[in-house]
Structure 1
Amino acid sequence: MISSPAFAGKRYAVLGLARSGQTAVAALVAGGAQVTAWDAKEEPRHAVAELHGDKVVLADPLAIDLIGFAGMVVSPGVPINRHPIADAARAAGVPLICDIELFAQSRDSLPPHKVVGITGTNGKSTTTALTKHLLDVAGIPAIMGGNIGLPILGQEPLPAGGVYVLELSSYQIDLTQRLDCEVAVLLNLTPDHLDRYDGFEGYVASKARLFGMQALGRLALVEMKAEMALDVLRDAPDGQRFTFIESVDLPGDQAEWPSLAGPHNRANAQAAVAAVRELGLDEATIEQGLKSFNGLPHRMERVAESNGVIFINDSKATNPASTAPALAAFPPVEGHKRLHWIVGGLPKGVDLDDCAGGFPNVAAAYTIGDAGPLFAEILAPHMPVVRAEMMSEAIRRAIEAANPGDVVLLSPACASFDQFRDFEARGETFRQIVEVLTGQGDHTHGEEG
């Protein structure tokens, strides 16, 4: 576990006791802090009481005097733009923080190390996993955390020379004050999570804070469009070093990187490669790592091939901007449109404009979920549309229509909550239905962004 003696004797409150909250409580207790914890559900409160006994006070932070607390630790899922805890903490002069800020406060107690922080609307998970993989190939101790994998505080500290690779959502950046990343990465910016911000500009300002926390002399890696159009380096120290991701040269041939297909994954690879070059990796090691990267589930994941038809699970594409690169990755071959696109779910908007550039690649669309009727109307002028409603029907109809060499792609451009618990459950359902209908499965992983 990562903790710090800097917590000793200080008072912290923790609101939200899911994985990151539970881990924050444990790290604070291990550091000698006085902890008050709360969750609306009884089960996680009971778990904290069982683990920590009288070392943790169970009390709703809205019902106690917060004056004098060193931090109000909230889950990134708590909407601080409208939750009363935000006003209560501000009135008491208590900073709103999350587990990433606790990690930042613990860094002085850890063996010498470096941090790569990665954010952006799309591609964070791919780039984070790829960066860690490249470090693994080089034999450099590395772990990843933040918005991916295990909570960072719950992992074992790295030995001297290690690298912490953190995927950072805008929510986590909002709740972090002093995370000075040796390399900070902003992959791209498109409107998202606008229910949490004062318009798109508020979302941009949140992401820009990552560079504002860097010390002068660190490296900022940023999408050119995001900087030129949105000034995302506005908070960076004057004279800070920066590189446009698009300008990064890559070693070898992208065609030899099976899990990094498409222009979106080229950008993800450029960001990861620039980051590890800054950390001292050589070109041969980097090229080896690009070839051996296996990607992550639900991100352009190849789940089966049957009768020459490839089935791709891109369930992580929960908005049109993240689906657009997936469509672009499968252009026609010798004039034959080979892409059968399963799209729909709980929509985050009322259009598919971000995907329009990929429409010429699509042989047919199969609409599902709450967005199905709307998307069918949008897509009908551009391609054949099957109004399937349920995923099983969409897959069955796509299999009937597909020819050898074609691709059946689940890239929903929507959230999953109309029919599924989360995007992982949606992707697993796609995999299972494909395996039943084809009688076979090939679990070779690929990736989106």
Structure 2
Amino acid sequence: MIVSDAFKGKTYAVLGLARSGLATVDTLVASGARVVAWDSREEARALVEGKADIGDPMEIDLAGFDGIVVSPGVPLNRHPIAVRAKLAGVPIIGDIELFALARPTLPPHKVVGITGTNGKSTTTALIHHIIEQAGYPTVMGGNIGLPILSQPPLEPNLRGPGVYVLELSSYQIDLTRSLDCDVAVLLNITPDHLDRYDGFEGYVASKARLFAMQSAGHVAVIAAEDEPSQVIAHSLRHSRESEDDVIEVGAGDIDPTEQLGWPALQGPHNAQNATVSIAVAKALGIDAATIASALTSYASLPHRMQAVGTRNGVLYVNDSKATNAASTAPALAAWPAIDGKPRIHWILGGVAKTDNLDECVPHYANVAHAYTIGEAGHMFADLLRPHMAVDDSEMLSAAVRRAARIAQPGDIVLLSPACASFDQFRDFEARGDAFAAAVNALE
């Protein structure tokens, strides 16, 4: 756990007591701060009784508070806490900002921050893996793994200072004011989470703030392959003292034959993830041989293009983390048709974020058969029927069984839903686990 004198004698309200909220309470209390905590769930409040005072920030007097720490899931554009905090003159922050405030009291270290609409988790895990293979102390956190405040502070070793690798959603960036990343990364920007922003421009501006918080001499790595990312890269090149601090990369920088030697990094989207990770590793001073070895040994994360198993010569792949069409498109591109024969049996559906699959259209020729499920199933079935055979399966287990009956040796049964999971599953992890269970139940 991170403990810091930066919080000693201060007073914070903590709104939301899930994993990051509980870690926040522990850090602040251990650091000598007064904490008033609240969650609408009685069982969550019970977990902090005896550590923190219990009080709803919508009701208590906020005068004199140093901050209100909220979960990234709190929609600041709609939640009344935003107005109440503004009237009280109290900043609304997140646990990443607390980490940023604690940094001057921690042992020497560096921070890599990764944002983007798609590919964040894989790139974060890959960068962390490369750093680990290079022998540096490192942890990853933020929007992946354990809350960063719950992890022990990194101590330097003979290789050098530790490196914190943070996956950062736009929501987490919104709650951060002073996170100065030694290396900040932007993977891509496509429309997402627009219910939380003033149009797409507001969402883009949120991503751009990660770079605005960097100090002189720190590095920006940008995969400038979409227009918003290109605009941000162009702006940074003209606003920074040295253009060398802005590194632009693209999937085309990767030799496709070299990529074949990276088992868990196949497909064009992983070419982008890899080229960004290589640029970050070089910026940290890691040698080429170590980088090459780490790319070969990297294992994919659960629910992200994860090979679940092979049955009767058919590969089953769990890409449940693909919750929008833009993140599904690379999965469809990863297995092109051979001699004009499509090989993918695509399971998709859930809670749709848009009424189209436009980003996936260029890869329809790779799909032999689609199986639609969930709330968006009927809509997507109607969209896809003019282009491919479709089975409106409704349930995930039924889709797996039907795909297994049709798929031929050499084919791929791919769960890449292009949708959120909340119609039938608790989260994307539960959906991926259900897919794996259905595959394992096949005879």
Seq. identity, %: 60
Shift of 1:40: 0.8
CA distance in structure 2 between the aligned counterparts of 1:28 and 1:421, rounded to whole angstroms? 30
Contact residue 191 and residue 200 of structure 1 kept, 8 A: yes
Shift of 1:69: 1.2
Residue identity matched to 1:380: R
The equivalences for 1:28-427 within 5 A come to 28-50=28-50, 52=51, 56-160=52-156, 161-224=161-224, 225-227=226-228, 230-231=231-232, 234=235, 238-239=240-241, 241-246=245-250, 249-250=253-254, 253-427=258-432
1:306-360 Cα distance to aligned partner (Å, 9 max, x none)? 1111000000000000000000001011222111101111111100001101101
Contact residue 344 and residue 412 of structure 2 kept, 8 A: yes
Using the size of structure 2 for normalisation, the TM-score is 0.95
Secondary structure of the structure 2 residue equivalent to 1:231: helix
Secondary structure of the structure 1 residue equivalent to 2:277: helix
Shift of 1:68: 1.9
Residue identity matched to 2:210: L
Residue identity matched to 2:411: D
Q: Which stretches in structure 1 are left out of the alignment for 5+ residues?
A: 439-449
Shift of 1:245: 2.2
Contact residue 120 and residue 187 of structure 1 kept, 8 A: yes
User: Quick one: higher RCO (CA 8 Å, sep 6+), 1 or 2?
Assistant: 1
CA distance in structure 2 between the aligned counterparts of 1:193 and 1:304, rounded to whole angstroms? 33
Shift of 1:135: 0.8
1:95-134 Cα distance to aligned partner (Å, 9 max, x none)? 1100000000000111100000000000000000000100
Contact residue 339 and residue 364 of structure 1 kept, 8 A: yes
Residue identity matched to 2:361: A
Residue identity matched to 2:248: F
Shift of 1:139: 0.8
Shift of 1:234: 4.7
Change (3 A) 1:232 1:418: farther
RMSD, aligned CA: 1.5
Residue identity matched to 1:381: P
Secondary structure of the structure 2 residue equivalent to 1:203: helix
Secondary structure of the structure 2 residue equivalent to 1:437: coil
| Residue range with higher mean Cα deviation, 231-240 or 127-136 | 231-240
Secondary structure of the structure 2 residue equivalent to 1:118: strand
Shift of 1:70: 1.1
Contact residue 251 and residue 269 of structure 2 kept, 8 A: no
Contact residue 227 and residue 233 of structure 1 kept, 8 A: no
1:18-76 Cα distance to aligned partner (Å, 9 max, x none)? 110111111111111111111111111111014x2xxx211111112212211110010
CA distance in structure 2 between the aligned counterparts of 1:45 and 1:359, rounded to whole angstroms? 49
Q: What corresponds to 1:446 in structure 2?
A: none
Contact residue 179 and residue 213 of structure 2 kept, 8 A: yes
Residue identity matched to 1:335: G
CA distance in structure 1 between the aligned counterparts of 2:252 and 2:185, rounded to whole angstroms? 13
Contact residue 220 and residue 243 of structure 1 kept, 8 A: yes
Contact residue 111 and residue 166 of structure 2 kept, 8 A: yes
Residue identity matched to 1:132: H
CA distance in structure 2 between the aligned counterparts of 1:386 and 1:163, rounded to whole angstroms? 47
CA distance in structure 2 between the aligned counterparts of 1:337 and 1:43, rounded to whole angstroms? 51
Shift of 1:200: 0.6
Change (3 A) 1:233 1:37: farther
